[in-house]
Amino acid sequence: MTDEFDEIETGRRSGAHRQESAAQSNVGAIALVIILALVAVLLVVAAINIITSSMKDPESDVADSGSDKTSSASPSPSESEVSVADSSVTVDVLNGSGVSGTAKKFSEAVEEKGWGLGEVGNYSTGLTDSTVYYADEANASQAKMVAEALGIEAVESSTDFDTDITVVICSDIAERGPEPSGGDSGEGGSGEAEG
C-alpha cells in the first residue's frame, strides 16, 4: 500500500516539510527579544534612579523639613538685600473695595515711602483680600516692601498689569487705611472722597 508520501515528485515538498512555520517562529522570537530589551532598559533606568537617590545627602531632607522654623527667624538673602524704596519703581494704586477715598489714602502712603506713583483709581474685582502684584521678577522684593508698608499680606506675580507694581485694595483693609509707620501722623487726616 502506497500513499502520496511514498512517491514524491522532485522539486515538490509535501508532508511535514513546511517552510512557513519557521517564519512564524522567527517573528515570535523577534518579539520576545524586543520585549526583553525593553524590560532590561526599564530595569537599568530604575537602578540609576535608586543609585542617584541613595547618593543624595540625607541632611538636605532634614534641613528642608525644618526650614519653616529657620526661615522665619532669619530673612532670606533676597529680602535682606533690598531695604530701601526704589523711586524708579512705579506703583499703581487701585481701589477694588468700593469704599470712597481708599486709593487716595494708600497712594499717599506709597509716595511718602519713596516709590514713584503711577495710576490711582478704581478697579472692578470680586476679590476681598488686598494684593500687591508685580509684573517682573526683578520687582518682587520691592513688591514685598510695598505690601509690608501698606499692611497687605498677599504678594503675587501677575501679567494682568503692565506697571512695575500694582496695589489692589479690597474690603479687608479699605476702612483702616495703610499701616502707619513710626513717623506717620496717623490714619485720620486723609479721608477725602477720591479714588
The bridge status of strand 165-169 relative to strand 131-134 is antiparallel
How confident is the model at residue 50, as a pLDDT? 86
Cell 494708600 sits on residue: 106
Integer CA distances (angstroms), 31 to 16, 26, 92, 155, in order: 26, 9, 66, 57
In a domain, 179, yes or no: no
Report the number of distinct structural domains present in the chain: 2
pLDDT in tens, 64-94: 554 444 444 444 444 444 568 888 889 999 9
Q: Which residues pair with 92 in a beta bridge?
A: 166
Q: Which three three-digit cell numbers place residue 152? A: 497687605
> CA 183 to CA 191: how far, in whole Å?
19
Question: Which residues share a beta bridge with 122?
Answer: 95
CATH number at residue 143: 3.30.70.2390
Is residue 133 predicted with pLDDT exceeding 60?
yes
pLDDT band at 166 (very low <50, low <70, confident <90, very high): very high
pLDDT at 76: 44
Cα radius of gyration (the chain): 37
170-186 confidence digits (pLDDT tens): 988 888 877 754 444 44
Check pLDDT > 60 for residue 115.
yes
Is 93 found in the same domain as 165?
Answer: yes
In a domain, 192, yes or no: no
Q: In terms of pTM, does the model score above 0.85?
A: no
What pLDDT is stored for residue 178 in this prediction?
79
pLDDT band at residue 167, thresholds of 50, 70 and 90? very high
Residue 23 forms part of a structural domain: yes
Taking only the tens place, the pLDDT of each residue in 23-72 is 566 888 889 999 999 999 999 999 998 888 777 665 555 555 544 444 44
**Alpha carbons 131 and 153: distance in angstroms, whole number:** 7
Q: In this structure, is residue 19 part of a structural domain? A: yes
For 112, the domain range is 80-169
Task: Indicate whether 194 belongs to any domain.
Answer: no
**Residues 35 and 93 both lie in one domain:** no
Residues 43 and 95 in one domain: no
pLDDT at residue 180 in the model: 55
Extract the runs of DSSP E, i.e. beta strands, from the chain.
Answer: 90-95, 116-122, 131-134, 154-157, 165-169
CA dist 163 → 120, 124, 146, 195 (Å): 12, 17, 14, 18
User: Once rounded to an integer, what is the mean pLDDT over residues 114-135?
Assistant: 89
3-class state of residue 120 by DSSP: strand
